[in-house]
């Protein structure tokens, strides 16, 4: 009986993991969202009104800060296993030679983008320029 319960628990854990991993967005989908609606994104920056961006399929939330805009496309997890994916805007094209909103540290080149890896921890933040001050991002905590 204990073996059956253990197998059922293992199977349900694997199924939950598979379903969660399938629902995570791909970078390609988020970049495609930006490319397909780039004029809407650019217009929002010009006007300061992001209501049209908020209604785009694939956009969950838009946060307009003093120096940047975060467009959350997906996120999952809890505590130290949290992941966020989306697009953000910052007008400073030299952003990664200084600091990024919320992470006062330097980034290092990584592939087509830049990576922040917390020293002695598991937090990481990856960004890739999309153009016109927009960036694809992944945040893992």
Mean per-residue pLDDT, 12-31: 59
In a domain, 8, yes or no: no
Domains in the chain: how many in total?
1
pLDDT at 92: 79
In a domain, 20, yes or no: no
In a domain, 97, yes or no: yes
In a domain, 76, yes or no: yes
- Distance between CA 115 and CA 76 in Å, rounded? 20
Between the alpha carbon of residue 13 and those of residues 20, 42, 58, 76, 97, the distances in Å are 11, 43, 27, 16, 42
Stated pTM of the model: 0.74
In a domain, 36, yes or no: yes
Residue 124 CB coordination number (10 Å): 16
Mean per-residue pLDDT, 44-49: 95
What is the tens place of the pLDDT at every residue in 50-80? 999 999 999 999 999 988 899 999 988 887 7
In a domain, 9, yes or no: no
In a domain, 101, yes or no: yes
The band of 10, judged by pLDDT with boundaries at 50, 70 and 90, is very low
Q: Specify whether the backbone of 133 is left (phi greater than 0), alpha (psi in -120 to 50) or beta.
A: left
Q: Which domain holds residue 57?
A: 25-140
End-to-end CA distance of the chain: 38
Highest mean pLDDT among 5-19, 40-54, 64-78, 103-117 belongs to 40-54
Between the alpha carbon of residue 56 and those of residues 1, 24, 52, 81, the distances in Å are 50, 18, 7, 27
In a domain, 6, yes or no: no
């Amino acid at each position: 009986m204990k073996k059956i319960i253990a197998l059922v628990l293992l199977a349900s854990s694997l199924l939950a993991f598979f379903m969660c991993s399938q629902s995570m967005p791909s970078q390609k989908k988020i970049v495609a969202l930006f490319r397909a609606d780039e004029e809407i994104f650019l217009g929002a920056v010009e006007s300061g009104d992001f209501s049209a961006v908020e209604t785009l399929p694939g956009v969950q939330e838009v946060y307009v800060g003093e120096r940047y805009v975060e467009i959350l496309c997906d996120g999952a997890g809890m505590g130290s296993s949290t992941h966020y994916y989306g697009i953000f805007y910052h007008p400073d094209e030299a952003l990664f030679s200084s600091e990024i909103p919320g992470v006062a540290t330097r980034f290092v080149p990584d592939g087509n983008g830049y990576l922040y890896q917390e020293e002695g921890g598991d937090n990481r933040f990856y960004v890739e320029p999309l153009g016109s001050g927009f960036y694809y991002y992944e945040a893992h905590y």
